[in-house]
């Protein structure tokens, strides 16, 4: 009987943990869902991390507003509610975020939407329902070696999610090694880094005009890396320009590309110098500009793979104890 009670208690605690892992966010906190002075709900969202299973609670006056979920950033930016993905109008709506990616919410009251009653959230990944306990691990003089892809090695797979599944089945630890075997005439290995521009400062007018210059100089960017720009899309944007002269003079007349989503990912695809500024008057001159030196691609592993410690031991045993021919 005592064993049964203990089992039930453990089961209840596990279930409570799985339900409590998801969070409910009241949109706008005490102010609720309404038009905001000074722009969108950017300031409300930027300190939060939304995950699959979390919920948004919208509280508002249902006589004047609603919650309209739209499918694209274009509909969000232009307050287009003609083809909604979903509409909520009870005045107290709870919307569960069921999939990763961007989710866009506006009000169908166009004047209120234009005045700032619009919300975009980025959902990153799922909450673990029951966090697995870390497996016991012996203390070894060296880490474990993982041959990437096992017998498939490192090559274009038959199924696009092959390497994702392969990785999920493993438990990697500090000190382990990834061994990439592949045809170096066909493929290589590129380790990608993501850089959040400005780190905690994000992309906004800095207190010191050389802030982004110093931030860039402390990094080493390579082909394949990504720049992540986070900013208030009602206040700033990201313009890529092509020359040092345009960069120094904050010339916005001939941009190579324009980004204005508030959460932009820009991949560094080739070596050279990349220039980024903002089109907002006075902001670039105040220091909101970034110059990035992109270095050529460097291989993460040598062409000839080094043997693992175990392989070297087997080779030593083989060489030491194999019979030698008599002369």
What average pLDDT values come out for the chain (327 residues) when binned by 10 residues?
Answer: 51 47 87 74 82 92 91 87 92 92 91 88 68 51 78 88 85 81 78 87 93 94 90 92 95 93 88 95 95 78 48 59 52
Q: For residue 192, what are the contacts with CB-CB under 8 A and spacing of at least 6?
A: 224, 225, 226
pLDDT at 132: 53
* Distance in Å from the first CA to the final CA of the chain: 79
pLDDT at 18: 44
Nearest to 43 by CA among 198, 232, 196: 232
Confidence (pTM): 0.47
pLDDT at 134: 53
Helix/strand/coil for 29? helix
Task: Measure Cα distances from 321 to 308, 313, 318 in Å.
Answer: 20, 12, 6
pLDDT at 305: 44
């Amino acid at each position: 009987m005592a064993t049964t009670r203990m089992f039930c208690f453990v089961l209840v605690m596990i279930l409570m943990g799985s339900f409590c892992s998801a969070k409910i966010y009241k949109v706008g906190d005490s102010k609720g869902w309404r038009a905001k002075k000074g722009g969108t709900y950017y300031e409300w969202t930027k300190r939060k991390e939304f995950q699959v299973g979390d919920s948004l609670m919208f509280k508002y006056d249902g006589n004047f507003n609603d919650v309209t979920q739209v499918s694209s950033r274009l509909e969000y930016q232009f307050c287009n509610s003609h083809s909604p993905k979903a509409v909520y109008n009870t005045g107290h709506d709870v919307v569960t975020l069921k999939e990763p990616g961007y989710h866009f919410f506006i009000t169908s009251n166009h004047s209120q939407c234009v005045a700032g009653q619009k919300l975009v959230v980025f959902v990153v990944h799922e909450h673990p329902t029951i966090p697995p306990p870390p497996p016991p691990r012996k203390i070894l003089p060296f880490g474990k070696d993982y041959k990437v892809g096992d017998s498939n090695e490192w090559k274009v797979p038959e199924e696009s999610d092959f390497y994702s599944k392969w990785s999920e089945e493993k438990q990697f630890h500090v000190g382990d090694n990834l061994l990439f075997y592949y045809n170096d005439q066909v493929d290589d290995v590129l380790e990608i880094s993501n850089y959040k521009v400005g780190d905690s400062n994000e992309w906004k007018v800095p207190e010191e005009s050389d802030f982004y210059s110093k931030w860039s100089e402390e990094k080493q960017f390579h082909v394949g890396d990504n720049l992540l720009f986070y900013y208030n899309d009602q206040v700033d944007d990201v313009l890529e320009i092509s020359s040092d002269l345009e960069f120094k003079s904050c010339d916005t007349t001939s941009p190579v590309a324009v980004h204005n989503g508030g959460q932009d990912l820009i991949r560094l695809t080739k070596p050279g110098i990349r220039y980024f500024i903002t089109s907002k008057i006075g902001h670039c001159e105040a220091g909101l500009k970034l110059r990035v030196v992109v270095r050529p691609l460097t291989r993460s592993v040598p062409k000839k793979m080094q043997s693992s410690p175990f392989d070297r031991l087997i080779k030593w045993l083989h060489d030491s104890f194999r019979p030698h021919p008599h002369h």
